[in-house]
Amino acid sequence: MAAPIGILGGTFDPIHYGHLRLAQEVADKLRLAEVRFMPSGTPPHRSSPGAPAEDRLAMVQLGVTGNSLFTVDPHETLRSGPGYTVDTLTAMRAELGPAQSLVLLLGADAFLELATWSRWHQLFTLAHVAVAYRPGFPVDTWQSRMPQPLAAEYNARLMRQPLGVHTASAGGIVVVPIAALDISATLIRDAMRAGSNPRYLLPDQIIKYIQEHSLYNGN
């Protein structure tokens, strides 16, 4: 079986070092062949992003430059209407075939909301789920906050050996500790609107892009 492919979706409004470091650490620990960044077009679970889809896609492309492990998939930004992860994974599965292991990368906060996603049970027929959590936010802390349907799936699907994602194409949940980088896109947008310098929160080339395209200047 080929090495697993990781999928990291999000609004990336903008992409920052927290996203990039999460992808790198999970890829290293799970020995992924690549991580595909998938910027959303019209996210169904949240308010409209601050930057248009084409700008967020361009920033992600800038952010992954220089890392051969990272690729960018524009599938969701090109779709009209709300983009659902289950549809994206279904399209990927059709493209790559049933034997390719796929791993959906989620932060712990996003995982806790998984049961609110469209056709969320179907996700496990299409991919594994890797839950990345930070030190200081231990597994027991967020495990106690899971809604009962999600807790049932977690208990049934948890893989004690994370590299088990190499032996099956989908269906498991793995938990991966990552470095604590307390960076958020909201923090960056607010800083830029206030005229503060966001350097060292995200790559310099993305800061330059934001400035050149006058993004995040509104209230």
pLDDT of residue 13: 95
DSSP string, 3-47: PPEEEEEE--TT--HHHHHHHHHHHHHHT-SEEEEEE-SB-TTSP
pLDDT of residue 75: 83
Instruction: Provide the token pair at 179.
Output: 């470095």
- List the domain boundaries for the chain: 5-183
pLDDT of residue 57: 96
User: Which amino acid is located at 156 in the chain?
Assistant: A
33 confidence band (pLDDT: 50, 70, 90)? very high
Q: Is the pLDDT of residue 41 over 50?
A: yes
Q: Is the pLDDT of residue 216 over 90?
A: yes
Q: Name 214's Cβ contacts closer than 8 Å, sequence gap at least 6.
A: none
Instruction: Provide the token pair at 177.
Output: 């500790």
3-state secondary structure of 187: helix
> Could you tell me how far CA 102 lies from the centroid of its own chain?
13
Share above pLDDT 70 across residues of the chain, in percent, rounded to a whole number: 93
41 or 43, greater pLDDT: 41
Starting at the edge strand found earlier in the chain, the sheet holding 173-177 runs: 70-72, 34-39, 5-10, 102-107, 128-133, 173-177
pTM of the model: 0.93
pLDDT of residue 76: 86
133 or 200, greater pLDDT: 200
Q: Is the pLDDT of residue 79 over 90?
A: no
At residue 176, φ and ψ (nearest 5 deg) are -130, 120
Beta bridge partners of 199: 202
Residue corresponding to tokens 């980088």: 181
Look over the chain and give the mean of its residue pLDDT values, rounded to a whole number. 91
User: Which amino acid is located at 71 in the chain?
Assistant: T
Q: Report the topology of domain 5-183.
A: Rossmann fold (3.40.50)
Instruction: Provide the token pair at 49.
Output: 């992003």
Instruction: Provide the token pair at 182.
Output: 């307390």
pLDDT of residue 28: 97
What is the mean pLDDT of the segment spanning 64-73? Answer: 96
Beta bridge partners of 129: 104, 173
DSSP string, 69-122: TEEE--HHHHSSSB--HHHHHHHHHHHH-TTS-EEEEEEHHHHHTGGGSTTHHH
Q: Determine contact, residues 88/42, Cβ cutoff 8 Å.
A: no
